[in-house]
Structure 1
Amino acid sequence: MDVNTIRLNHVSTGSELPCSPQVVEDGGEEDEEELSGGEEADLRSSSGRGSLLTRRGITLRVLLKDSLVEPGDGVLSIHYLGKNFIGDLLTDGKIRWVETGQIFNSPSAWATHCKRLVNPAKKSGCGWASVRYRGQKLVQYKTTWLHKYQPSADMSLVSEEDDDEDEEEGKTAVQADEKNKNNKPGLHDVMVSRRTDRERIPVRYCTLGTRDAARDPHTLVELSAFSAINRFQPFNVAVSSNVLLLMDFHCHLTTSEVVGYLGGRWDTNTQLLTVLRAFPCRTRLADRDSASAVEEEICQNLFMRGLSLVGWYHSHPRGPALPSLQDIDSQMDHQLRLQGSNNGFQPCLGIICGPYYHGNQGVASTITPFWVVPPPEQRPNDYGIPVAVEVTYVQDNFLTSDVLNEMMLLVDYYRAAPDIVQFTQYWCPDTTMMDKIKGSLSCHAPKDQAYSQILEHVYSQLNNMQ
């Protein structure tokens, strides 16, 4: 199959606390008031009476009743001054801190409690801006609720708390920068960039409905499980760790989106798709002039290695590793083209890598393999259904010369790029960008520890790029 069939465009502190569950109601100045069932029902009609709901009126219980969030274990998190706190969202809208089992009535109560453990002088928690649900700030869900039920509402009602928290984090970064400016250059710049990155909240597939040309094609969509749509995954997938390492390295180099291809083999007898090589595209997504030459080179590399084109990858540099509506359509198109005209089945794997999304746990990138199931026949105008693909990761014994060569070619390509990541700057107060990429790549480390010496040469080249 010609490679041109795929287009190039495109957790806790160590404080001793009671072990038995207890309800904590102290949330500082911003704790939400409990609403009765009748009051919650009135929220939807408040705009019709000429009044608008303020941000304090929207509680987790309201969001749960309207299915904007779901109860679950470990779905809530707080990241504050280098400390991580994980919480369970209960069915009644309360929060259970995983570490101690304590129950909190609101995000503000939990955030204030956790932040005081780290900083006893902390007076309030800015809970809705500090607590994240599945990586997204809760304040964003307030915005979604108001857009849905009170579209005329002033969005400043839900953004002011977010701004307050971002301002506080920004001040913390500036103070740390002033204190450690001799050995922590660039910290302020990194933290400011975090403040200007506005997060996109993923939507559920079931909320999309029929295609709408007015819908933002960059809307992110949560992945479904095959079991959720009453299907079995129609193929097995095995991915080489060297594939993940090269792909993750590529995605870390620039603040712009990157793309690449995946080479491997498809065994019709065992229904196993084996991904053996990543082929980064050393070109800009909008550069159509060089795209054909890059694709031709990759096509030759595939042929020389006896491999087939089995998929593609791309990055969401600062966002969640979830497909957008545009990604869903692209993936569906790739699947159909790889299948060819003989109606034989060959899967095409899509992978999204999110290297610099601050909702990730730790320094490791989030890597998301996905596939798209066509919409039901009775609803041909719906979007395809993005589903998570279960993958077996195969640990390579050593770093191949091909992978090392590709890494050096990428370094040379991005060396003078205006959007090159500044690896001497700070990812967070205690972690440089260089620490970040090293930590993420270590997740895909070969068994042979000699790779670390080889990669140190690559990292030295990254330092020389600044």
Structure 2
Amino acid sequence: MVEKVKATKETRPVPGRTSSKTSKVKSEKTRKVRKKRIERDSSSSEYESDFSDSLKLASATPSEPKCTEKDEKALESNQITAPQPKQEAKKEASTTQSDADEEAPQELNILKDTPLSMLWGDAKNDYACRREFVWDDNVFTDSEDVNLDRLASLYVDEPPSRGRRNVRTVQHSQLRQSFLSGATLDPHLMVECAQYADPTVSNDKRPQQPFSVRIHPDVAFVCDLHAHMAMCEIIGYFGGKYDAETNTVFIHAAFPCRSMQIEGDDGSTDVEMDPVSELEVRQLIEKSNLEVVGWYHSHPTFAPDPSIRDIENQAAHQELFQMNSHNHPFVGLIVGTYDSKRTDPVGLFRYFHVKGEKMTGKTKTPPMYFPFELTTITRKYKARAIQAVQAVKPTNELVPQHACLHRLRNEYGASILGCVEQVVRLLEYYRAFPRRTKWSQSWQKTNKGQKLRLSLLHYVEALDIPKDIQTAFVEDIFQYLQSAWQ
């Protein structure tokens, strides 16, 4: 069994604005001050109130629907409405206190509940993602003869797509020259990832990738949706495990984290993980019998190449997770979404890690780190029967929120329910987010809502859903999003 690496509060790097390698003391003081500020403002936060209201509908689990008598009558007359808040249930004269408590949706504390915490901490429902792990060869396979027609265009022999950049990007040689000249490096300077050798080419002289990366099919879908939710950078951790015997990092799930709202910074070029959310998510991953094996964030308006700051944070994490005898790797991911210089609507993913290089003969001089792109394998479910669902055609008419939620939770099979709950939590979490995406805004020759739909239609091909109903699944998500955000 692989030994876990536990970070102490003093040594744990925080992805984002502050380099944990060069400013540990300052970063630690900043975290404490911000934590106190968050706790002080939580009781009067307008954002907390809006967010708690937006989660009331989604908080009812599929096995325990929460409806008042008024809702039941409305459902009988085909007038579907959201469950009534707890305080309104108390006003019913014929309802006892215990009945009201039972009928009321579970209320959340945004300082204690991350977007996915209820999914992974919910003991009442047996989600497949909590028992069917991506490293289980009885459930998943790497064989190309399973669902090859659906996934070949996505994950097999796919050449790296970089797109154009609207910020300056340099190559390793340019970065090396700048370092040796003593120039101060801009933390927002983008660095192009170098490529490892192609294992199918015998005479490729480039270095070999040092470890393999295998990913759960739900991960790309959730990360793509999360990155499209906001016009500022988002951030999260990966939960999984490292198998030293096969030298493979298994990424089992994405755990979105809250980001800090910093005065004077709109978050379009930087992101800093909320230290409270970071602690919650790390504990949640551990309680889920997983390990922290990576992190991800988005570049909303430019290419997904790592910046100098991204490289520093990646290096800090790698150093932390390499302190044990198993040399634990750590994977980074950047998702590009609304780059105006790209024409492809599909979210662009770049998995990477960094390698240190001594630039001078002095032993005390810290190494210079350079990013390398990682080739990944998204595992596939082995063939199994899935309940059919009637196809849903795109429509301009607003479908009731309750109807979409019912279909998502009941029509696509038990194996996809964990992904559904992740999606629902994200949509409700960002409903009251200050910098949420405005779907009607233009992007290229369409709008951002249509771009999201097309991007999800690409990544849904890896999910455990038959090909003939994948469009219906995405359409239900998009209709739920439109209804919930109205």
Report TM bin, short chain. Answer: 0.5 to 0.7
1:231 paired to 2:207 = yes
- Mapped to 1, the partners of 2:172 and 2:272 lie a distance apart of 36
- Mapped to 1, the partners of 2:375 and 2:272 lie a distance apart of 36
Residue 452 of structure 2 corresponds to 437
> Helix, strand or coil for the counterpart of 2:438?
coil
1:345 paired to 2:327 = yes
Residue 192 of structure 2 corresponds to 222
| Displacement of 1:291 | 2.4
| Displacement of 1:225 | 2.1
Q: Cα deviation per residue 1:227-270 (whole Å; 9 max; x = unaligned)?
A: 49953211011112210010110000101001110111111111
Higher-RCO chain (CA-CA 8 Å, sequence separation at least 6) = 2
Does structure 2 conserve the Cα–Cα contact (< 8 Å) formed by 1:252 and 1:421? yes
Alignment of 1:178-257 (within 5 A): 199-209=166-176, 210=179, 214-227=184-197, 231-257=207-233
- Mapped to 1, the partners of 2:429 and 2:170 lie a distance apart of 36
Q: Cα deviation per residue 1:344-381 (whole Å; 9 max; x = unaligned)?
A: 31110000000111333521011000010011364645
Alignment of 1:7-156 (within 5 A): 7-10=14-17, 135-136=163-164
| Displacement of 1:452 | 4.7
Q: Cα deviation per residue 1:439-464 (whole Å; 9 max; x = unaligned)?
A: 11122211414565454443234224
| Aligned match for 2:438, one of 399, 422, 425 | 422
Uncovered stretches (5+) of structure 2, i.e. residues with no partner: 18-160, 198-203, 264-270, 383-412
Uncovered stretches (5+) of structure 1, i.e. residues with no partner: 11-132, 138-198
Q: Note closer, same or farther for the CA distance 1:447–1:343 as it changes in structure 2 (3 Å cut).
A: closer
| Aligned match for 2:341, one of 335, 359, 377 | 359
TM-score between the two structures when normalised by the length of structure 1: 0.55
Q: Cα deviation per residue 1:86-123 (whole Å; 9 max; x = unaligned)?
A: xxxxxxxxxxxxxxxxxxxxxxxxxxxxxxxxxxxxxx
Does structure 2 conserve the Cα–Cα contact (< 8 Å) formed by 1:259 and 1:285? no
Question: How many residue pairs get matched?
Answer: 281
Residue 90 of structure 1 corresponds to none
Residue 266 of structure 1 corresponds to 242
Residue 371 of structure 1 corresponds to 353
- Mapped to 2, the partners of 1:434 and 1:419 lie a distance apart of 15
* One-letter amino acid of the counterpart of residue 214, structure 2: A
> Helix, strand or coil for the counterpart of 2:254?
strand
Does structure 2 conserve the Cα–Cα contact (< 8 Å) formed by 1:263 and 1:308? yes
Residue 395 of structure 2 corresponds to none
Does structure 2 conserve the Cα–Cα contact (< 8 Å) formed by 1:238 and 1:274? yes
Residue 377 of structure 2 corresponds to 392
- Mapped to 2, the partners of 1:243 and 1:369 lie a distance apart of 12
> Helix, strand or coil for the counterpart of 1:374?
strand
Q: Note closer, same or farther for the CA distance 1:383–1:290 as it changes in structure 2 (3 Å cut).
A: closer
Residue 465 of structure 2 corresponds to 448
Does structure 2 conserve the Cα–Cα contact (< 8 Å) formed by 1:354 and 1:366? yes
| Aligned match for 2:425, one of 386, 398, 409 | 409
- Mapped to 1, the partners of 2:245 and 2:441 lie a distance apart of 50
Q: Note closer, same or farther for the CA distance 1:358–1:384 as it changes in structure 2 (3 Å cut).
A: same
> Helix, strand or coil for the counterpart of 1:233?
coil
Q: Cα deviation per residue 1:107-141 (whole Å; 9 max; x = unaligned)?
A: xxxxxxxxxxxxxxxxxxxxxxxxxx96337xxxx
* One-letter amino acid of the counterpart of residue 203, structure 1: V
| Displacement of 1:306 | 1.4
- Mapped to 2, the partners of 1:6 and 1:396 lie a distance apart of 34
